[in-house]
Structures are given as structure tokens and as C-alpha cells.
Structure 1
Amino acid sequence: MFYRPEDGHGLPHNPFNAVVSPRPIGWISTRGAEGADNLAPYSFFNAVAYEPPQLMFASTSTKPDRSDTKDSVANIRETGVFCVNIVEYAARDAMNRTSGPWEKETDEFDLAGIDRAPCETIPCSRVANAPANLECKLTQIVHLAGEANVVVFGEVTGVHLRDNCLRDGVFDVTSYQPLARLGYRDYARVTELFSMTRPGA
């Protein structure tokens, strides 16, 4: 099968998300200028640089009470900071609960019964029991083609690592089973690893 996206795919559901998978999930916590917390998952998310450490996530839709974007991006535009909380398999239901189209006044920490803790380097809450939290300051927001497609870039200013995820000096992902987004309604969890040495390493 071949199709041009501009002509449509002719399938019951768009296959694009399923093709580009698995994708890590950035559980983005933000705080609005008036102090309300927000928490929402984004699967267009990844790390993009080592030194200094930087990452990105993309928002691709709007909400009726935000007009041109979603709560996370709106809050980041106001405050210039956000926190990425790493999602583990054990938190899948809570993460999914926070993905709903809730009103902007909704505090998803309370909605999903998630414990919060303060960040150290930015005025924002983080998921208290997450395997890792990456505190970020906004570096740029890039508008992409399409009505509501924006990419948020941030520089990591603080890193929290859950103690039981550190083994022999290594952040061990099998200790918490990272949750990944596939396509449609499908997810995956990491339970096995294998190692390879890069040529010249």
C-alpha cells in the first residue's frame, strides 16, 4: 500500500501514529500564572540534546476554553517552565485519566489521585513517585504547519531519580517498566533489555 497524506489513507484510522512507534510519553506538569496545576501526557516527546540536556514535546490540538492550543502550552507560555514526569507501567491508569479534555481549571493531580511534590529549580509541581522528573525552562516554541501544531523545547535544569531505579550507578529502566505509546489505543511496556556496542566505541 502507498498513499499520499494529502489525498488520505482510506483506512478506518490514521496509521501514522502506529508506524512511528514505540514513542516515550512525556507526562507534562505545568502551573498557570494564577497558580493552578495541570498534568497531561504527550507521546510526541523525546530528548534532543546532551549538553546542555534538552528535550521537546509537541501539542497538536486545541481546546474550546484555550482557543489556539491546550492547557500545557498555554501555561508554559505564561510561566516559561514545565516538568517532564517519566511514566511507568504502574501509573498507566492515572496517566490515562489525565489525558481527558478537562476544563482548564481542572487540577489533574487531584482528579487522578496523584501525589505531587515541589520542583527544586522551577515554580511547578511534579509527580512525586515517578521514576524520574526533568525540570525544564522553556527555550523556544516552534509553530509547525497545521492549525494547532506546536513544538515546545526546554532545557533541563533539575533531575530527580527515584532511588530504587538506580542500580550499580545505572538508571535501570527494567526496575520500573517504562510505558510507551504505540498507535490507536495501544501501548507497550519495557520488560527486557539487550546491549550492543557501537562501532568505534
Structure 2
Amino acid sequence: MSIKDTAEEWQITATTTPFTGNKTSVRTDDVVMPDGTVARRDYQVHPGSVAVLALDDLGRVLVIRQYRHPVRHKLWEIPAGLLDVPGENPLHAAQRELYEEAHVKAEDWRVLTDVYTTPGGSDEAVRVFLARDLSEAEGRRFEVSEEEADMEIKRVPLEELVRGVLAGELHNTCLVVGVLSLVAAQAGDGLDALRPAEAPWPARPFAS
């Protein structure tokens, strides 16, 4: 028996957008339930994101430490960013984020995993890439601002990140999902068996 998620959309009888922000908004839908009742659902409308688990030749993962105001924490994360342009190719966005946040480029790209971060309250979809064969990017470093101005960058052995995840010391969604997916891929069919970087992504269709 194959276990997989399936696309489905229940009837919406009314919808409003009570809040519109700079990058995201909040939508309220009245949704018809299977028993015929109508339930109101509020959720964040999100453009989608990409994240990059960059693995070097020594088995270390490139991580960044950044202040996240909603949770009042400095979190260790992997490079990530919004899909700012509708229909943007997620690989190109991931390559941009790796350059901007770490001034690094990669020659080998694969899709590690696709996730909905909080499907009960947001439609955010994230594609996590695996990037290998790393090197320093050419040219000047990207000028960062706001929270990113205080960002710290390190390369940490994969096993140390796994330990931190399981010990409850590392909490960022993309880091946790990316690190554990990488370990699972290594123990399974190997990293070269992962999906190609341009694999279709129904949650956020993109132009080639």
C-alpha cells in the first residue's frame, strides 16, 4: 500500500482577507465540512520558501544563527528565503539565498524534501534543497540589513546537528527536516538517488 498525500479542495462558501502585510496575508474561509456544516478557518497566505542544506566535503553543514522575533530566540538555521517572484524557479531562488546569506555557491543540487510547515494555520510550502561541491562565491558579499546584520555563519558536522535536534536544542523547521532527511537519504538509496533539482513541485508550480 502506497502512503502519500493527495490534493483535495472542499467547497468554500465565503472568503475574506482581514489583513494584508508586506509579504503575507491572513485569509478567512467558510468551508463546508463532510457533514454539511460550515466551519470558519483563518490561515496565513504565504508565497512559499526555499531552504538549502549545504554539505561540504568534510561532512559539515553550513548553518546560520539569526534572531527570530516571534519566538524570541536566536535560532541556528540553514539558508532560506521567500519565493518573492510569482512563478520563480525555486532552484534559482535557493542559489540566490545561498549566495546572499553565506557568499557560497554549489555545483551539485538535488531536492532533499518538500514540506508544508504548518498546514493547520498556513499554506506555506518549502522546498529544501541539498547543495554539494561548495566553493566561495565570486565578487563582493551581499550587503545584509536588519536581523541579518547580526547573523553568524558556521560549518557544523552533521552528527552534531543530529544530536542537537534529538536533544531538543535545535528547533528551526527547515534545519530539523533537512538534517534528518539527509541522514535518512544517506542510510537509504544514497544522495545521488534524490530527486533532480528541477523536479516538479505541485505546491508551487514554476516556469522552467
Question: TM class by shorter-chain length?
Answer: 0.3 to 0.5
Scaled by the length of structure 1, the TM-score of the pair is 0.32
TM-score, normalization by structure 2: 0.31
Structure with the higher helix share, 1 or 2:
2
